[in-house]
Amino acid sequence: MSMKEDYEMKDEYDFSKGVGGRFYKPHKKSIIIRLDDDIILFFKKKASEERIGYQTLLNSALREYIKNHAVNE
């Protein structure tokens, strides 16, 4: 096998056993945001029930909102 053959792309690759998102780490940014008490209490209670962080739950809710309201350009 020549060196050139070592670096040529195959026509097809099998990623069926691949793990998605293994090397993806979203960048987090610290901000100050003011939320009403009832909103904070709701997300903290829900997060406790689901055993996840309330900020993670807030992120998920905001992503869902964006997904449902994004305007295609």
The angle that helices 54-69 and 37-50 make with each other, rounded to 10 degrees, is 110
Looking at residue 73, its pLDDT comes to 47
Q: How confident is the model at residue 25 (pLDDT cuts 50, 70, 90)?
A: confident
Reduced to 3 states (helix: H, G, I; strand: E, B; else coil), residue 70 is coil
The two three-digit tokens of residue 11, written as one number? 């026509």
Is residue 52 domain-resident?
A: yes
Q: What is the pLDDT at residue 50?
A: 95
Is 10 domain-assigned?
no
What is the percent of the chain where pLDDT is above 70?
90
In a domain, 7, yes or no: no
Which pLDDT does position 20 carry in this prediction? 78
The pLDDT tens digits for 51-63 are 999 999 999 999 9
Domain membership flag for residue 1 = no
Residue 6 falls inside a structural domain:
no
What total number of domains does the chain contain? 1
In the predicted model, what is the mean pLDDT of the chain? Answer: 87
Residue-range definition of the domain harbouring residue 49? 34-73
Asked whether residue 17 is domain-assigned, the answer is no
